[in-house]
């Protein structure tokens, strides 16, 4: 039996096998497996894990093409940053976009609550 036929048969028995796994099993390249399936009118992208992605933060493999970030923790790191309260140095978690927006609008000092806000204002005066 030719390799493409073997791949086809195997793929039918194991529909959730990835291109990478098939390639490894038959010692061929991923594009080769892809082409084989395409030639047989099987949509290669119907593979669940056909094209792994890598987390933008920790480089962990993500088995979902549309996801950029692997976990909630990484998502937090991606979107949030830690700054310190100007008065008491309490860490403040802030959306990066919000932070840069505020800095862009002239804000230089950040406070973790109202009390520190008032203290900080008094100090300034
Ligand atoms: Zn991650
Ligand atoms: Zn504070």
CA 49 / ligand 1 centre spacing (Å)? 17
- Strand 80-84 and strand 91-95: pairing? antiparallel
State which of 51-55, 102-106, 119-123 shows the largest mean pLDDT.
102-106
| pTM confidence score | 0.49
CA 38 / ligand 1 centre spacing (Å)? 32
CA 93 / ligand 2 centre spacing (Å)? 12
Any idea which ligand is nearest the CA of 61?
A: 1
pLDDT digits (tens, 9 = 90+) for 25-75: 989 988 888 888 777 766 655 554 455 678 888 888 887 777 888 889 999
Q: What is the rounded CA–CA span in Å between residue 88 and residue 99? A: 19
88: pLDDT strictly greater than 70? yes
pLDDT score recorded for residue 49: 47
CA 71 / ligand 2 centre spacing (Å)? 29
């Amino acid at each position: 039996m030719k390799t493409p036929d073997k791949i086809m048969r195997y793929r039918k028995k194991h529909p959730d096998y990835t291109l990478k796994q098939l390639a490894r099993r038959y010692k061929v390249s991923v594009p080769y497996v892809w082409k084989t399936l395409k030639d047989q009118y099987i949509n290669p992208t119907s593979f669940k894990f056909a094209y792994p992605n890598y987390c933008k933060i920790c480089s962990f493999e993500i088995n979902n093409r549309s996801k950029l970030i692997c976990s909630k923790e990484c998502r937090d790191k991606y979107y949030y940053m830690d700054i310190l309260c100007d008065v008491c140095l309490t860490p403040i978690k802030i959306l990066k976009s919000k932070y840069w927006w505020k800095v862009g609008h002239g804000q230089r000092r950040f406070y973790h609550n109202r009390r520190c806000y008032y203290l900080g204002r008094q100090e300034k005066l």
